[in-house]
Structure 1
Amino acid sequence: MSSLQQQLPLITKLPLLLVDFDQTITIHDTIAPLGQFGVTQSHNRNPWSYFADSYLNDYRTHRNQLDHLPNECTFNDFVQQLNTYKPIEKASLARVSKHKVFQGLSRQAIKEKAFELSRTELQSNVISTLKLYKEQVRIVSLNWSKDWILGFLHQLGLEPEQIYCNDLTFMNDICTGDITPQILTTGDKQQLINESIRANHGVIYIGDSLGDIEPLVKSNIGIVIGNDLSLIKTLNDFGYTVQEDTSKASHLYRVDNWHQIKTILDKHYYTI
C-alpha cells in the first residue's frame, strides 16, 4: 500500500477536488472586474472605488482592533481570528446589495462578460487538468456570482450545483441586485470539507491564500498554488511541511502552475 493510500484510510468514494477560484483558477482576482461591470451596466451613481474603499476601511479598522495573538497560540486560535472577519465580508455584500450594483443584469450578460475575460485571465492548463476530474470538481469561492464562475469555466461545462459561493439573486433570470452570502471565511470553506469527509469522500483542496489555510491543512491533500509569502510563513510557523517536489508523497504541496497540479492529481487518483 502506498503512503498516499495510508493517508486516506476512511475513503470509500473517489476524492472530491475542491478548488478556490480567484487567483487559483484565474491569474488575478476577478471580484473587482465583476463589480466594475455591475456598476457600469446598472449606471450606478457610486463608482466601484466607493465599494472597494469602504471594504478596505472596514477591513483595516477590524484588523487594528484585533488582539495580538501570543507566540504560543495554536493553529485553531489563528483560524478563529481569521473567521472574525466574517462580519466585514458580510457588510461588504450588504453594501453592494443596498446600492443595487447588479440590478437589472441578466444571467447571460454576466456569463458572456466572464467568458470574454476568461480568454486572458485563466491560468494555463487549468481547464485541461480539471476536465480529467470534472465529476469530482467543486469550486469553493468567496466570489459573488455562480454565473460569473460558470462563464469563466464555460469550456469545463460544470453544473451550478458544483459551485459553492456567494450568489446574486434573480427573478426571471434578471438580477434583483441582492447577494446571498454563503462562503465568507476559511471556516465556511472548511464546513464543506467536513461534509465531504462525513460522506466518506476524500478531499483534495487547491488554494492560494490565507483564506484557504484551514481547508489546505485539514484536507487529505492540500495544494498551494503560487507564492503567497504570508500563507507559506504561517504554515511553516505552525509546523506544517510544504513539499515542493511533486514526485514525493506529501500531505501538503506548493506549486507554481497547473501542470504541476496535474502531476500530483494523476499520481494521487491512480494510487487510490
Structure 2
Amino acid sequence: MARKPSKPLVLVLDYDETVTSRDTLALLARWARADSLAIPPEAVSNHPDLSGWHAVVDAYLADLAGCKARQQQQQHFGTHVTLDDYIGATREVDQRSILRVSASRVLAGINRSLIRSKVECLAASTRDRSGADGDSDGDGRHSFVQPGFSSFVQAFDRHFPESIYVLSLNWSKDLIQATLSQCGISVASDRILSNDLEFTSPLEGPASQISTGTIVGDIHNGVDKARKLKELIAAKGLGTTVVYIGDSAFLGLSSSDLPCAIAADIGILIRRSSALDVCERFSIPVADLPRDIGACKQSVLYVAPDGWRSVGQTMHFTTL
C-alpha cells in the first residue's frame, strides 16, 4: 500500500538531461533557423545558416579550456578552493557565452507558439517509437524524456498538487512548460525558475510573439541555481521537505546540480558519472537512494540506481 511521506514534499527539478534525455539548447537554434528559413527542422542540423550557432559553441568550449587550465594550475599549487569556488569558476565564461548568443541573434525569429508545437511533434514522434512513456524498449534511447519520468511526475502531482518547480540554466520557459505538458502535468510559469528568451509584442498573443534572440535572466551556473533554491526553501518554511533532483553529468567543468542537491533537504542525482569525483574531492557523502524516503538525510547526496523508477519507489509512487 502506497503511503505519503510525513511532511508535504516540494519537488524541484533540473531540466536538461534530468527531465529530458538530451540537452535541448541546440534544438532552439535549429528550430529558430528552420522557422526563419521555412525548411524542415530535421534538415537544418548541418545547414550553413547554423554556422553562427557553431561559432558560439566553439567560442564557449575555448573559454572552458582556458578556465580548466587555470583550475588545474590552482590544484597543482595546492590553492584552497571551496565547492562554490569550484562550481562558480565558470561564471565569467557562462556570462560571456550568454552575451555571445544574444549578440549573434542565432535564436532570433522563433515564434513562441512554434516552440510549443515543435515539442508536441517531438514528443509524439518519440512516443510512436518508444511507447507511451518513452520506454517500451527498456533503454529510453528513443525517448525525448527520461524513462519513467512521466508516470512518476503525474503520480507526484496527484499527491502534492502545485508543488513541482523547475530550476534550470535553460533559455526557454516555453520549452520547459511544453515538455512538462507532454508529460501530463501543468506547471505555471512562476514555478519555472530559469532564463528565458526576450519576445516582441509582449501584450499580444503567443502567435505574434517573436524572439529577439536576447536571453534574459540571472541563472548562469550552479551557484546561481543554489541561490534560487535557498530562496525557495526559505519561502516554503519548515513545514515542507524540499527535494531537488538533478543530473550528475558534467556541463563544462562541473555539475551545476551539486550545490542544489547539497542545499536541499533531500538531494538526488538520477545517475552516476564522473561528477561524483567532485564529491570525493570535497568530502561530500554519496550513497544509493534508499527504498524509503524517511531514511534520507540532508547531509548525504543520493544517487538513484535505476533513475526515475528508483525515485518513484523511494517516494512510494509507482512508475510502472
Give the whole-Å Cα distance in 1 for the aligned partners of 2:50 and 2:20.
29
Q: How does 1:162-177 map to 2 (within 5 A)?
A: 162-172=191-201, 173-177=209-213
Q: How does 1:75-94 map to 2 (within 5 A)?
A: 77-94=82-99
Match of 1:179 in 2: 215
Give the whole-Å Cα distance in 1 for the aligned partners of 2:247 and 2:117.
26
Tell me which amino acid in the other structure corresponds to 1:98. Answer: A
1:32-66 CA distance string (max 9 Å, x none): 22222223333557343212111111111222233
The alpha-carbon deviation at position 71 of structure 1 amounts to 6.1
Deviates more, 1:160-169 or 1:43-52: 43-52
Question: Residue 126 in 1 paired to residue 176 in 2?
Answer: no
- Specify which of 233, 258, 261 is matched with residue 197 of structure 1: 233
Say if 1:182 and 1:132 are closer, same or farther in 2 by CA, change over 3 A. farther
Deviates more, 1:236-245 or 1:142-151: 236-245
CA contact (8 A) 1:90 1:184 kept: yes
The alpha-carbon deviation at position 28 of structure 1 amounts to 1.4
The alpha-carbon deviation at position 116 of structure 1 amounts to 2.6
Q: How many residues align?
A: 254
The alpha-carbon deviation at position 216 of structure 1 amounts to 0.8
Question: Residue 51 in 1 paired to residue 56 in 2?
Answer: yes
Tell me which amino acid in the other structure corresponds to 2:227. Answer: Q
Match of 2:40 in 1: none
Match of 1:254 in 2: 303
Q: Which secondary structure does the structure 2 equivalent of 1:133 belong to?
A: helix
Q: TM-score scaled to structure 2, two decimals?
A: 0.72
Give the whole-Å Cα distance in 1 for the aligned partners of 2:63 and 2:121.
32
Match of 1:156 in 2: 185
Q: Which secondary structure does the structure 2 equivalent of 1:203 belong to?
A: strand
Give the whole-Å Cα distance in 2 for the aligned partners of 1:133 and 1:263.
12
Give the whole-Å Cα distance in 2 for the aligned partners of 1:116 and 1:95.
30
Give the whole-Å Cα distance in 2 for the aligned partners of 1:250 and 1:73.
30
Q: Which secondary structure does the structure 1 equivalent of 2:244 belong to?
A: strand
Say if 1:53 and 1:40 are closer, same or farther in 2 by CA, change over 3 A. farther
Q: How does 1:93-112 map to 2 (within 5 A)?
A: 93-112=98-117
Give the whole-Å Cα distance in 2 for the aligned partners of 1:72 and 1:97.
35
Say if 1:91 and 1:39 are closer, same or farther in 2 by CA, change over 3 A. farther
CA contact (8 A) 1:144 1:166 kept: yes
Q: Which runs of 5 or more structure 2 residues have no equivalent in the other structure?
A: 38-48, 127-142, 202-208, 249-254
The alpha-carbon deviation at position 113 of structure 1 amounts to 1.6
The alpha-carbon deviation at position 138 of structure 1 amounts to 0.7
The alpha-carbon deviation at position 245 of structure 1 amounts to 4.7
Deviates more, 1:236-245 or 1:186-195: 236-245
Q: TM-score scaled to structure 1, two decimals?
A: 0.84
Give the whole-Å Cα distance in 2 for the aligned partners of 1:72 and 1:103.
42
Deviates more, 1:112-121 or 1:253-262: 112-121
Q: Which secondary structure does the structure 1 equivalent of 2:26 belong to?
A: helix
CA contact (8 A) 2:289 2:310 kept: no
The alpha-carbon deviation at position 241 of structure 1 amounts to 2.7
The alpha-carbon deviation at position 81 of structure 1 amounts to 2.5
Give the whole-Å Cα distance in 1 for the aligned partners of 2:153 and 2:113.
24
Question: Residue 243 in 1 paired to residue 299 in 2?
Answer: no
Tell me which amino acid in the other structure corresponds to 1:216. Answer: A
Question: Residue 206 in 1 paired to residue 235 in 2?
Answer: no
Give the whole-Å Cα distance in 2 for the aligned partners of 1:132 and 1:205.
17
Tell me which amino acid in the other structure corresponds to 2:278. Answer: T
1:46-97 CA distance string (max 9 Å, x none): 34321211111111122223342376946xx132132121221121121121
1:182-210 CA distance string (max 9 Å, x none): 21111111112211232204311001131
Match of 1:37 in 2: 31
Say if 1:121 and 1:174 are closer, same or farther in 2 by CA, change over 3 A. same
Q: Which secondary structure does the structure 2 equivalent of 1:138 belong to?
A: strand
Tell me which amino acid in the other structure corresponds to 1:106. Answer: N
CA contact (8 A) 1:113 1:151 kept: no
Give the whole-Å Cα distance in 1 for the aligned partners of 2:217 and 2:10.
23
Match of 2:13 in 1: 19
> Among the aligned pairs, what percent are the same residue?
28
Give the whole-Å Cα distance in 1 for the aligned partners of 2:79 and 2:108.
48
Query: Which aligned segments of 4 or more residues in structure 1 are displaced greater than 6 angstroms?
Result: none
